[in-house]
Amino acid sequence: MVDISSLNLSQLADLKKQIDIEIVHRKESEKQNLRAEMQRMAAAAGLSLAEVLGSAEKKTRKVTSTGIAQFANPADATQTWTGRGRKPQWVLDWLATGNSLDALRV
């Protein structure tokens, strides 16, 4: 064991850098050894490592619909709203005039 009490500050800093580098190298070495051991175990069972761990394929993203329009602007039929999320300005204007939301229903 190294007696670190006799080292000065710069020597301690250098030692710390060396230790950090060695830790990284050893972790990588351990990962490689573990991967090789896992491959040997999978091969002994007649499987590949990918079969055991599952494939690393990218998961497909679930496609969601934007929803079906439930309300339409009577002044401009191209403006619609599904009824989800914030109310569009044309709906707010319609309601501000005292009209009912049900009157906009498609």
DSSP states of 51-74 as a string? HHH---PPPPPPP-------EE-S
pLDDT value, residue 42: 92
Number of domains within the chain: 2
Same domain assignment for residues 21 and 49: yes
Helices (H), 1-106: 9-44, 49-53, 89-96
Same domain assignment for residues 47 and 78: no
Does 93 reside within a domain?
yes
Q: pTM of the predicted model, to two decimals?
A: 0.46
Does 62 reside within a domain?
no
Does 66 reside within a domain?
no
Q: Give the three-class secondary structure for 72.
A: strand
The mean predicted confidence, pLDDT, of the chain is 89
Range of the domain at 24: 7-53
- Segment 79-104 shows an average pLDDT of 91
pLDDT at 31 over 90: yes
